[in-house]
Amino acid sequence: MKRLFITGVVSFLIVLILSISADAFDGKRKGFVAGLGGGWAPVIHWSGNYLSSDVDRTGWGINYLMGYAWNDWNIIAYEGIGWIYELPQSSNDFSIYALDGIRWYHYFGKRYRLFSSLGVGLFLGSAGRSELDVSGFGATVGIGYEFLKQLQIGVYYVAAHSTGHSEYQNDIRVTTNHSIVGVLLTLVAY
């Protein structure tokens, strides 16, 4: 998980440096774009063979994106979305989930407008002290509104299926399904 985060940060910085040198970020959406944001997830749900019941929590999220807009209405980006929440059995144990992959944004209208997004990617999770690590594939869909130039808010749904193992409980094999609904406020530089 740590290596994936470091890779994402390094990739983001490389794109940012190349974009600055290529006359990007001129206020026109066409060209290189980069973004960073955060938000809240009112619904984080997962179920599987690891616990006897489903887990429903709320949590906090962060996202970053880097990509290219081929016109004023379409962006293709590499995006990472991460969520953190407190585990139900402990007051100081947290779980982290992340979806890293390709996402397409489509904007409607001329300025300050609605957008939609679709994406797929690698889903990774880690559940604190229980030493539960899972990985799999996920998909996301979102809608939102760009209410200021380069500032947008969106509601996103993430669905994923993952497998892994728990070293804490005799290396048992774990299969889980995840559903996350989150609201993210993102600054997108272009």
Residue type, 2: K
Nearest in space to 80 (alpha carbons), one of 11, 165, 133 = 11
pLDDT, tens only, 75-118: 999 999 988 887 666 656 677 788 889 999 999 987 668 999 99
Q: How far is CA 147 from CA 25, 61, 132, 140, in A?
A: 19, 20, 40, 22
What CA dihedral angle connects 5, 12, 117 and 144, to 10 degrees? 100
pLDDT of residue 168: 62
Q: How far apart are the first and last CA of the chain?
A: 29
Q: If you average pLDDT over every residue of the chain, what do you get?
A: 81
Taking the C-alpha atoms of residue 140 and residue 63, their distance in angstroms, rounded to an integer, is 13
Q: Does the pLDDT at position 5 exceed 90?
A: no
Containing 22, the helix (H) or strand (E) segment is none
Integer-rounded Cα Rg, in Å, for the chain is 18
Taking the C-alpha atoms of residue 146 and residue 150, their distance in angstroms, rounded to an integer, is 7
Q: Could you identify the residue written with the tokens 């999770």? A: 125
Higher-confidence position of 111 and 45:
45
- pLDDT confidence of 142, banded at 50, 70, 90? very high
pLDDT of residue 116: 95
Backbone angles phi, psi at 15, to 5 degrees: -65, -40
What CATH number does the domain located at 2-189 have? Answer: 2.40.160.20
